[in-house]
């Protein structure tokens, strides 16, 4: 896939990252792994593969993605998890959705239809996601059904123009909201989230939920 890159933030993912990269190998996609230098074990794992290693200068999930986006040179990129929860077999249909209908962003969704689902969702993240997705539809007209799920394909050039700033999980709402305000063409596509290979969610439902809510309020007046 010559016009596509993957951005994979991989903070303390030494157990899952090698398995994810082995699974991705057959797709031959340019891949950027965003790492912290102090995460020595994960760095060692990444160096065993033909990937582009980007040492994160800042901190946080959003910052890792923003730094990764700046490195991408292909027309499109997809944000991909290092924990094994994203199924790479879905990449082809996500790309096809974007290229065949000229969408600027395609958001994979665990709640799109009967073929969607998750083995990794909890009741509190499910409820929170539904609330924020509803807010996104009511206040911004977002045509997405899973706003906090970051399995997303983006047009690289247009995404760079958004000047994204969120260093943490507020990135999840900043990306689609700023895009819709620029009249970018956005859509959703069904996805099935697998169980993570190792580790646990890095999201703090209460703290991050509050930050996401305040971010949406600020973006409403942006």
Tell me the CATH number at 77. 3.90.550.10
Structure tokens at 67: 């730094």
The predicted-structure confidence for 171-189, as pLDDT tens digits, reads as follows 999 999 999 999 999 999 9
Domain count, the chain: 1
Q: What is the residue-averaged pLDDT of the chain?
A: 95
pLDDT surpasses 90 at 39: yes
The predicted-structure confidence for 54-96, as pLDDT tens digits, reads as follows 999 999 999 999 999 999 999 999 999 999 999 999 999 999 9
* CA dist., res. 188 & res. 9, Å (int): 22
Range of the domain at 156: 4-220
Q: β-pairing, 4-9 with 30-35?
A: parallel
Predicted TM-score of the model (pTM):
0.95
Q: HSE-up of 22 (CA within 13 Å, CB side)?
A: 6
The predicted-structure confidence for 110-152, as pLDDT tens digits, reads as follows 999 999 999 988 888 899 999 999 999 999 999 999 999 999 9
Whole-number pLDDT of residue 162: 97
- Output the CA torsion sign for 165, 214, 206, 115: negative
pLDDT surpasses 80 at 27: yes
């Amino acid at each position: 896939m010559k016009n596509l890159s993957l951005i994979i933030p991989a903070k303390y993912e030494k157990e899952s990252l090698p398995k994810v990269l082995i699974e991705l190998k057959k797709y031959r996609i340019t891949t950027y792994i965003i790492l912290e230098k102090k995460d020595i074990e994960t760095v060692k794992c990444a160096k065993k593969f033909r990937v582009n290693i980007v040492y994160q200068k800042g901190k946080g999930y959003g910052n890792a993605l923003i730094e990764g986006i700046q490195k991408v040179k292909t027309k499109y990129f997809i944000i991909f998890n290092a924990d094994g929860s994203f199924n790479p077999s879905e990449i082809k249909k996500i790309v096809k959705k974007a290229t065949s209908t000229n969408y600027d962003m395609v958001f994979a969704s665990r709640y799109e239809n009967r073929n969607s689902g998750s083995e990794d969702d909890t009741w509190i993240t499910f409820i929170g996601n539904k609330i924020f997705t509803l807010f996104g539809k009511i206040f911004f007209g977002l045509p997405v059904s899973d706003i906090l799920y970051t399995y997303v394909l983006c047009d690289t050039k247009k995404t760079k123009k958004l000047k994204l700033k969120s260093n943490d999980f507020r990135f999840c709402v900043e990306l689609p909201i700023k895009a819709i305000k620029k009249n970018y063409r956005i859509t959703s596509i069904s996805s099935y989230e697998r169980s993570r290979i190792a580790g646990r969610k890095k999201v703090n439902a209460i703290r991050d939920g509050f930050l996401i809510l305040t971010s949406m309020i600020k973006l409403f007046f942006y």
